[in-house]
């Protein structure tokens, strides 16, 4: 047990894990999804619940997942199998890995469609498509894109090909390079945009929308969304971080590492939110516009900025990279498993996964046009199109459930001496607080939020 290497290799340096995990965490979840969910759920109160979920549930589980991966040194499915055997527990714990790999495939299918929108916007920005546009024109550009199935499928295909292209090459070539250059660029750009919107009259309004909590706008559903999104944003509950943890060398500062990843992820989301909501209020737009929000606001700002064509292009390229580095981590668990256990080459495994995800992604793309009438419903609980259904199923159910099982496994099933050693938290108080969160607070929180709809 406790191998020192996985068959897929090891990160070249301590920072590479931080970069890769941050690359996985920071993505469309921060820049596209967080602002629009905040808008739909009424603002500040949602943000507050989200931050509490990140701090009390997300971060402790982040550490637990890294710990599992580094101990198991294999794909999440095989890691969970071998750690269950080590703990003399039922092999059913392997189910965490299975559910995660499936969740990864499902998320990647709709993620790749949105990734495609972002790539399309790089192209639009480069053509000068935003210059001098009114809010109505910008909104029309986006709805035209959604109404065009060929374009959506083509952009989705391109984004997915980019993603699988890196997964095929394994963890060193591609991924490490992409995060090293692009992540700092993205943060600088967000910071630059933040400084820009601070000069606008509507900044106080955008700020208030994000940070003044009106709890009357909150209901069970939005609390579940906040919890689910904290998992989505930190890439938790489906094995992405576990898979990356498997490629990590031994080190002594796991706590610090996890803190850095969580902080960067949260900062990226908050900055994106402030930028987007200031533009919303500056232009009299609707904060609850839903998935269209980012695509209806940012182009407006770029259209007005001097040099906006260049800034807009660079910005959307950086968002593409953020989405790309996240998408890679969505595919890695399934591919790593197929290579280990099905004796497929990385190429074969990536091709099979790619075709599967592509087909599901096409269905998601068609949900915005030809198939918009097709919905999946469950009594009064929900009626959703395919795109929204996959999003809700994974974000609100599969990821929190995976997180819950991870807490129970690490907190209650694994040998506590091993957990203590692998957690690498040297300060006893720190270790005990973390264990308390993993054993009690996180599972109770997840259960309460998830079961709540049943009692309403
Ligand atoms: N965390 C990524 C984002 O915010 C999405 C993701 C979810 C990636 C789950 C891996 C696993 O965009």
Give CA–CA dist 265/287, Å, rounded: 22
Angle at 47 between CA 287 and CA 290, to 5 degrees: 30
- In the reported structure, the alpha carbon of residue 35 is separated from the centroid of ligand 1 by a whole-number distance in angstroms of 15
- In the reported structure, the alpha carbon of residue 424 is separated from the centroid of ligand 1 by a whole-number distance in angstroms of 25
Report the nearest atom of ligand 1 relative to the CA of 265. Answer: 4
Nearest CA to ligand 1 atom 11: 235
Q: Which two tokens stand for residue 424?
A: 């690498």
Nearest CA to ligand 1 atom 9: 235
**Which has the minimum average pLDDT: 10-19, 21-30, 39-48, 149-158?**
10-19
Question: For a substitution probing ligand 1, which of 100, 233, 266 has the most ligand atoms within 8 Å of its CB?
Answer: 233
Band of residue 4 on the pLDDT scale cut at 50, 70, 90 = low
Which phi-psi region, left, alpha or beta, contains residue 20 (left: φ > 0; alpha: ψ -120 to 50)? alpha
Per-residue pLDDT at 377 exceeds 90 = no
Band of residue 217 on the pLDDT scale cut at 50, 70, 90 = confident
Give CA–CA dist 346/169, Å, rounded: 8
Report the nearest atom of ligand 1 relative to the CA of 399. Answer: 9
Nearest CA to ligand 1 atom 6: 235
Band of residue 1 on the pLDDT scale cut at 50, 70, 90 = very low
Query: Residue 315: beta bridge partners?
Result: none
Is the Cβ–Cβ distance between 303 and 225 less than 8 Å?
Answer: no
Question: Quick one: pLDDT at residue 452?
Answer: 79
Percent with pLDDT over 90 in the chain: 73
- In the reported structure, the alpha carbon of residue 393 is separated from the centroid of ligand 1 by a whole-number distance in angstroms of 15
Q: How far is CA 340 from CA 6, 102, 345, 349, in A?
A: 10, 17, 9, 10
Q: Express each pLDDT in 333-369 by its tens digit.
A: 999 999 999 889 999 999 999 999 999 999 999 999 9
- In the reported structure, the alpha carbon of residue 405 is separated from the centroid of ligand 1 by a whole-number distance in angstroms of 19
- In the reported structure, the alpha carbon of residue 135 is separated from the centroid of ligand 1 by a whole-number distance in angstroms of 30
- In the reported structure, the alpha carbon of residue 229 is separated from the centroid of ligand 1 by a whole-number distance in angstroms of 9
- In the reported structure, the alpha carbon of residue 58 is separated from the centroid of ligand 1 by a whole-number distance in angstroms of 13
Q: Which pTM value belongs to this model?
A: 0.94
Which 3 state secondary structure label does DSSP give 78?
helix
Question: Quick one: pLDDT at residue 249?
Answer: 78
Is the Cβ–Cβ distance between 63 and 436 less than 8 Å?
Answer: no
- In the reported structure, the alpha carbon of residue 328 is separated from the centroid of ligand 1 by a whole-number distance in angstroms of 10
Band of residue 208 on the pLDDT scale cut at 50, 70, 90 = very high
Average pLDDT of the chain, as a whole number: 91
Q: Which two tokens stand for residue 399?
A: 């990821």
Give CA–CA dist 14/425, Å, rounded: 17
Instruction: Give the pocket of ligand 1 (CB within 6 Å).
Output: 24-25, 27-30, 107, 232-233, 235, 238, 240, 326, 329-330
* Continuous H helices in 199-290: 203-211, 220-233, 240-245, 254-282
Per-residue pLDDT at 2 exceeds 60 = no
Q: Express each pLDDT in 149-161 by its tens digit.
A: 999 999 999 999 9
Angle at 98 between CA 108 and CA 399, to 5 degrees: 55
Question: Quick one: pLDDT at residue 456?
Answer: 64
Nearest CA to ligand 1 atom 7: 235
Nearest CA to ligand 1 atom 4: 29
Question: For a substitution probing ligand 1, which of 22, 101, 111, 235 has the most ligand atoms within 8 Å of its CB?
Answer: 235
Mean pLDDT of 96-115: 97
- In the reported structure, the alpha carbon of residue 104 is separated from the centroid of ligand 1 by a whole-number distance in angstroms of 9
Report the nearest atom of ligand 1 relative to the CA of 234. Answer: 1
Question: Quick one: pLDDT at residue 3?
Answer: 55
Q: Which two tokens stand for residue 216?
A: 């009357």
- In the reported structure, the alpha carbon of residue 7 is separated from the centroid of ligand 1 by a whole-number distance in angstroms of 24
Per-residue pLDDT at 12 exceeds 90 = no
Question: Quick one: pLDDT at residue 185?
Answer: 87
Report the nearest atom of ligand 1 relative to the CA of 34. Answer: 4
Band of residue 307 on the pLDDT scale cut at 50, 70, 90 = confident
Report the nearest atom of ligand 1 relative to the CA of 327. Answer: 8
Mean pLDDT of 132-150: 94
């Amino acid at each position: 047990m406790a191998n020192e290497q996985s068959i897929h290799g090891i990160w070249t340096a301590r920072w590479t894990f931080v970069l890769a995990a941050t690359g996985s965490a920071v993505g469309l979840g921060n820049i596209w999804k967080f602002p629009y969910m905040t808008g739909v759920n009424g603002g500040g109160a949602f943000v507050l619940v989200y931050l509490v979920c990140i701090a009390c549930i997300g971060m402790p589980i982040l550490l637990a997942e890294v710990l599992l991966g580094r101990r198991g040194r294999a794909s999440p499915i095989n890691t969970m199998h071998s750690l269950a055997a080590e703990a003399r527990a039922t092999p059913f714990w392997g189910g965490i890995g299975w559910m995660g790999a499936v969740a990864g495939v499902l998320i990647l299918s709709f993620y790749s469609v949105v990734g495609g929108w972002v790539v399309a916007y790089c192209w639009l920005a480069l053509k000068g498509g935003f210059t001098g546009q009114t809010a109505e024109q910008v909104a029309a550009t986006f709805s035209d894109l959604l109404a065009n199935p060929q374009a959506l499928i083509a952009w989705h295909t391109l984004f997915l090909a980019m993603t699988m292209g890196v997964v095929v090459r394994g963890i060193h070539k591609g991924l490490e390079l992409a995060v090293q250059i692009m992540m700092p660029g993205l943060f600088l750009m967000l910071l630059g945009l933040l400084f820009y919107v601070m000069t606008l009259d509507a900044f106080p309004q955008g700020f208030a929308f994000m940070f003044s909590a009106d709890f009357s706008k909150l209901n069970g559903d939005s609390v579940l969304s906040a919890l689910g999104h904290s998992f989505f944003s930190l890439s938790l509950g489906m094995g992405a971080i576990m898979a990356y943890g498997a490629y990590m060398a031994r080190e002594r500062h796991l706590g610090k590492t996890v803190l850095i990843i969580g902080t960067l992820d949260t900062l990226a989301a908050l900055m994106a939110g402030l930028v987007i909501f200031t533009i919303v209020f500056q232009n009299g737009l609707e904060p609850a516009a839903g998935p269209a929000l980012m695509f209806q606001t940012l182009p407006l700002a770029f259209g007005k900025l001097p040099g906006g064509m260049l800034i807009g292009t660079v910005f959307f390229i950086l968002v593409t990279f953020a989405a790309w580095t996240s998408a890679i981590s969505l595919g890695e668990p399934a591919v790593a498993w197929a290579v280990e256990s099905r004796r497929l080459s990385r190429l074969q495994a990536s091709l099979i996964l790619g075709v599967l995800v592509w087909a599901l992604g096409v269905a998601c793309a068609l949900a915005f046009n030809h198939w918009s009438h097709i919905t999946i419903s469950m009594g009064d609980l929900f009626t959703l199109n395919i795109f929204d259904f996959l999003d809700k199923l994974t974000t609100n159910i599969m990821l929190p459930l995976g997180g819950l099982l991870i807490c129970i496994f690490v907190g209650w099933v694994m040998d506590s001496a091993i957990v203590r050693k692998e957690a690498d938290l040297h300060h006893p108080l720190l270790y005990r607080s973390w264990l308390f969160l993993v054993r009690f607070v996180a599972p109770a929180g997840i259960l309460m939020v998830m079961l709540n709809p049943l009692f309403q």
